[in-house]
Amino acid sequence: MTRALVLVLLVAASPAAAQSALRHHNTDAPLDVDAKSIDVLDANGKAVFTGDVRVVQGDMKLNADSVTAFYSQPKNGRDRVINRIDAQNNVHLVTPSETASGRYGIYAVDRRTVTLIGGVTLTQKGGSDLHGQRLAIDLDTGRARLDGGSTGPAAPGTTPAPGGRVTGHFVVPQRNATN
């Protein structure tokens, strides 16, 4: 019981578990994309970027092997609007204070959410990290939720969690002992 309470307190005190650095992320900021190639499928409303793709929007960076941007054309004839970005293989989401990685990523611009799926690792500056199968971040509130999902290969340096559980390693800051 005491161990469970200590773990709950550590998780609650951990900024990685409490709130993402992406809280109030500006989804209206320009999206800059860099890739080795692009295929524009205008009739389908999508563009496929391949080859070491880098997407930057404000303080958020998304890297992957392949990224598909889904867009719509407003009836008023203005520029296309990106509604969603899907990233595949070697997906890395980087903010000033945390890094998340997984097999797949979905940035739902219109819904203001980011989801990473498959062998997800969330690492915070300072060394704390969490492992699971699905990370969902609400960009309005900054709430980050990590689920264990089904079991899969363990992250390097860790053992697989039984039953698809979330695992974590929390770095506790040193405290000065006072008498």
pTM above 0.85, yes or no: no
> Could you tell me which residue, 147 or 21, shows the higher pLDDT?
147
How far is it, in rounded angstroms, from Cα 156 to Cα 93?
18
Three-point CA angle 35, 37, 38, nearest 5°: 100
Give bridge partners of residue 129 from the DSSP assignment: 123, 169
How far is it, in rounded angstroms, from Cα 51 to Cα 150?
29
pLDDT band, residue 75 (cuts 50/70/90)? confident
- Give the pLDDT mean for 137-164: 71
Residue 156's pLDDT is 54
pLDDT band, residue 164 (cuts 50/70/90)? confident
Element (H, E) at 17: helix 15-18
Residue 61's pLDDT is 96
Residue 158: is its pLDDT beyond 80?
no
What would the DSSP string read from start to end of 86-139? EEEEEEEEE-SSEEEEEEEEEEETTTTEEEEEEEEEEEETTS-EEEEEEEEEET
Residue 1's pLDDT is 33
The string of pLDDT tens digits covering residues 27-54 is 889 999 999 999 999 999 999 999 999 9
How far is it, in rounded angstroms, from Cα 143 to Cα 19?
5
Range with the largest mean pLDDT of 3-12, 25-34, 46-55, 146-155:
46-55
Phi-psi region of 169 (alpha: psi -120 to 50; beta: other; left: phi over 0): beta
How far is it, in rounded angstroms, from Cα 65 to Cα 92?
10
Question: What does pLDDT average to over the chain?
Answer: 82
For the chain, domains (ranges, CATH) are 2-169 (2.60.450.10)
Cβ atoms of residues 26 and 53 within 8 Å: no
The string of pLDDT tens digits covering residues 84-118 is 999 999 999 998 889 999 999 999 999 999 999 99
